[in-house]
Amino acid sequence: MASKLLKARKSTTRTKARTKARTKARTKARGRQQGAAHGTKRWSQKVTQESNALDLERGVFTRASPHAIALSLKRSALKSQRRKANPYRSALSMLTFYVNRAGRSLSGARRRTLERAKHELRAVFGKGTNSI
């Protein structure tokens, strides 16, 4: 009798866990659909174009060379009147923002190029490896 009761409890617990997981997945999917319906799908693109961080050159993140990306970001950071922080910090934050927002859609090679661009940026601005 006790073993039947124990099996029933385990079964109920398992069912509750499955139901909870399904509900969570549905809620998450619903949130994604609402975001797309309300025009918030490309908010990160708008930030890149209109933020007070930097006035970027067109196609800066699509360049093949990490050095070219770093030089472009440096030019933009030094020229921009809309930045709030110092030029190095603004350039690095925009590069990091792009890498984080591109997320899964970046190929491994592209991600490595952009990560190398961070190191190049540090070198171009004459910063040490420990300072930010």
Read off the amino acid at residue 61: F
Residue 122: which pLDDT band, with cuts at 50, 70 and 90?
very high
- Given pLDDT bands bounded at 50, 70 and 90, which one contains residue 35? low
Q: What is the pLDDT of residue 106?
A: 87
Cβ-defined contacts of 95-103 (< 8 Å, 24+):
95/61, 95/69, 95/121, 97/44, 97/47, 97/48, 97/53, 98/48, 98/61, 101/44
Q: Mean pLDDT in the chain?
A: 78
CB neighbours of 99 closer than 8 A, spacing ≥ 6? 106, 111, 114, 115
The pTM score is: 0.61
In sequence order, what are the residues at sequence separation of 6 or more whose Cβ sits closer than 8 angstroms to the Cβ of residue 77? 54, 83, 87, 88, 90, 91
Of residues 47 and 113, the one with the higher pLDDT is 113
Residue 112 confidence (pLDDT): 92
pLDDT of residue 40: 59
